[in-house]
Structure 1
């Protein structure tokens, strides 16, 4: 019994290809059914915007090629040969462990993928296509990922300059209860607003050269006050914090437009700059711009990469435990057959002795216990030896011998 993987991801296939290889729930079920017809009855599909992957447990080598044909057949309009990634055995399990921990994500160490792996397993199990082996492998990967996130905290090293910028504001002047002006209405401004509203008591005003765009922000943030772009110079004097995140090719907040009369913190999230760098010389102004934020993001990226190496070591240890379990589990069916054979002998012996000796209820119960204990004692050491086998060749040889010796 082996663990297999095949699929595409953002590393080996561009977005145009990934968009055309996304699985719906109905398509997942169709793939499961076709795999079962090919003798593969344990399957899981992990389908996100960055990957379209299938994990499965198989018995025969030729089933790998069958799974590839089934996968490609799900997307007949897409030529997948050059993009498809295929792994088996320990390499496939190691890939899943790294996926669950976010080590193969576009954003290194991100958390979302772990929930997506859990959902993929839940769907497979609910549909009846995840059994003992697949359940154990995926759950071990999930447990390992949780340990990495708890102990190493990779995802707590932020890479988003918007997030880092708001954190720097908190360090510089505090955010809760502050009056804030946001200039701009694009993705960066919206992301900054998302993080701002995590603080209590903030009063936020926004403006944009395109008034309709600024009003669109209110659909996401109903408490946001919108003013026309021309009014920001009047509004800025009452603000504790000014955030600018426009796509303007020129300075937006210039020295001649605004002279601080009270302490103010300026956050410039734009490239090229929105806020005049000379504000850094004003004793009433604190300026934070992308130079500082990108330096922090760069340091955080390096720290994440260092933590990845520690994560790989932990994955190696946990993966070894899963590998040993999977290797030993290959003997489970033989051990179960051996126990069933002994149970049959135990039952035959009991019926014979009970018929000959006409035992009462108490003696029957005692005889059953003695027969069961005796046969289990006889089996104990052979079963332990079977569980200790650490190579597939030995396992197959012992399976053959057990079947021959015990006629099972």
Structure 2
């Protein structure tokens, strides 16, 4: 049995194509059932905003081609023929391991994909399309990913400027319980609000040139206080922290208009800058801006890339064990057939002896155990040899020999 992969992802297909190749749960069930008709008994679908991928186990080359045709037929309205990526055997296994570890993600080393892989397997199992082999391969990939995340902590090197900025704020002035003003109500400001509350900010206020837009954030952050943009200087006199992320073409916090006699830390997430650099000269003012934060993000990206190289070695080691297991499992059916043939001979011999000789109940048990142990002992060494065959060619050869010798 071989492991195969077919699909598209953000690297080889644009967003409009990925949108049209997303699998709903109903689509997945239909695909599983159609795959079963062409001989594919084990199949898993990983469908996210960045990928639409099918993992499957097959026996014959024509089955693999049939899965490809099934994928194309599932999305007939989309031109996919030149976009589809297919992988086979060891390459497919290694790819799944990299997927689970976040090494194939848009954000290098992200954690969300691991949960998505686990969910994909659980769905496949629930529908009855994941057996021993699929379970083993995916679980090994998940275990390896968890080890990488625990030991290397790739995702703890943030690449979001907003998150890095809040982290630096925490180091400079500790956010918990502090009074904060957020200027701007766009995506960057919204992200900053999430992180500020995550770090335990106290009284958080927001102002924006468009007050209605700022008020929309109350649905997501009901504890937030919306203030008028024109009042920003008066509000800042009471604040410990100011986070600014507007799209204004000029500074919106001018040094000559801000009067404050207490310490205040500015996080300027805007480009061009929102905060007047002249404020940096004041003893009670600290400014963190994009130039400073971008260097941290750049260093984090380089560190992630270094850790990724280490994780590749960990994946290679882990996949070797999975590959060996999958290879040896090809002989399971042959070994099982041998053991069943052995059990049949034991039963036939026991029934013959029991008809010819009158045994007590105790003697019947002993005779059956001795017959069983003797025949299985005879098969023990051959079975061990079958398990250790290290190439498909040898396995195929020995399977034919066993079938011929034992008539199974």
User: Which band: TM-score by shorter chain?
Assistant: over 0.9
Alignment of 1:20-59 (within 5 A): 20-59=20-59
Report how far residue 358 of structure 1 moved: 1.2
Partner of 2:282: 282
**How many Å separate the matches in 1 of 2:261 and 2:82?**
63
Partner of 2:248: 248
Alignment partner of 1:146 is 2:156: no
Partner of 2:60: 60
Give secondary structure in 2 for the equivalent of 1:280.
helix
Report how far residue 259 of structure 1 moved: 3.1
Partner of 1:364: 364
Partner of 1:264: 264
Which contiguous aligned blocks of 4+ residues in structure 1 show a shift greater than 6 angstroms? Answer: none
Report how far residue 200 of structure 1 moved: 2.9
**How many Å separate the matches in 1 of 2:201 and 2:331?**
63
Give secondary structure in 1 for the equivalent of 2:257.
coil
Q: Deviations over 1:262-310 (max 9, x none)?
A: 1100000111111112222111100000111110000000000000001
Contact 1:4/1:87, CA 8 A, preserved across alignment: yes
Partner of 2:178: 178
**How many Å separate the matches in 2 of 1:65 and 1:386?**
30
Report how far residue 232 of structure 1 moved: 1.0
Partner of 1:115: 115
Partner of 1:311: 311
Report how far residue 140 of structure 1 moved: 0.5
Give secondary structure in 2 for the equivalent of 1:238.
coil
Unaligned runs of 5+ in 2: none
Report how far residue 260 of structure 1 moved: 2.8
**How many Å separate the matches in 1 of 2:352 and 2:249?**
97
Contact 2:255/2:279, CA 8 A, preserved across alignment: yes
**How many Å separate the matches in 2 of 1:188 and 1:301?**
20
**How many Å separate the matches in 2 of 1:355 and 1:242?**
95
**How many Å separate the matches in 1 of 2:242 and 2:146?**
38
Contact 1:243/1:269, CA 8 A, preserved across alignment: yes
Give secondary structure in 1 for the equivalent of 2:255.
coil
Aligned residues: 408
Report how far residue 203 of structure 1 moved: 0.7
**How many Å separate the matches in 2 of 1:371 and 1:279?**
93
Partner of 2:392: 392
Partner of 1:337: 337
Contact 2:180/2:201, CA 8 A, preserved across alignment: no
Partner of 1:89: 89
Contact 1:260/1:285, CA 8 A, preserved across alignment: no
Give secondary structure in 2 for the equivalent of 1:139.
helix
Alignment partner of 1:6 is 2:6: yes
Q: Deviations over 1:78-124 (max 9, x none)?
A: 00012111100000000000000000000000000000000000000
Unaligned runs of 5+ in 1: none
**How many Å separate the matches in 1 of 2:86 and 2:272?**
43
Compute the RMSD of aligned alpha carbons: 0.7
Contact 1:243/1:268, CA 8 A, preserved across alignment: yes
Alignment of 1:59-78 (within 5 A): 59-78=59-78
Alignment of 1:161-172 (within 5 A): 161-172=161-172
Alignment partner of 1:294 is 2:289: no
Partner of 1:229: 229
Report how far residue 201 of structure 1 moved: 5.4
* Structure 1 length-normalised TM: 0.99
Partner of 2:212: 212
**How many Å separate the matches in 2 of 1:146 and 1:378?**
43
